[in-house]
Structure 1
Amino acid sequence: MSTFFHIHHDGDAHGPEAQRIHTELIEPVMRDLEERGRLDRFYVLNFSGPRPFVRLIVEPRESHGSNLAREVLASLRSRARELDFLGEHDIQPQGKVA
């Protein structure tokens, strides 16, 4: 089952801020999950509008589905704090994260 996250930012949908979200925030977290065998695949899409966002779609390995959404959210927020990049409320799950 896929889990969706929206990462809101103030830049252009395809500009430097969105690129930084991809390379410095999402990729390291997803690479770690892949290396630990928890992640099957992930997708990243950029959306424009009054408040642009990056949509992260995560597909867990079958045995890790129930816990992975919480783990991804915590990892993304922790990484954003380390980078002093984005606010905690800029990274939001779409749907229920138990």
Structure 2
Amino acid sequence: LIERLWRRGSYNPPWIWSTIEVINTIRQNVKIPALMDTSGFGSRRGPYNCKKCNKELKHRIIDSNFDQSQIEYDCECKKEWIAEVKFSDLNKSKTPIKHLPLY
């Protein structure tokens, strides 16, 4: 289903910044190990940021899986992500979806 929505332009994978937000929040509030699988990061179908930071953030997430540290990093694209998160409700459809044909 996600693949179909993605091909139609109805779904975009999350930003890597969003996954980092989840990781940091969990590690701050829950005292059990939290791991993030990075397969697909930086690809067209997986979480992505910009070409400048995709690889670096993937490596930082992998490193933080071992030591459970908060992930700190900054890039120019983070401002774009913040704006998208802030205004994302403006892009949502108000029409309830009752049925999505599978074929």
TM-score (normalizing by structure 2): 0.28
Q: Highest relative contact order (Cα 8 Å, sep 6+), 1 or 2?
A: 1
Which structure has the greater CA radius of gyration?
Answer: 2
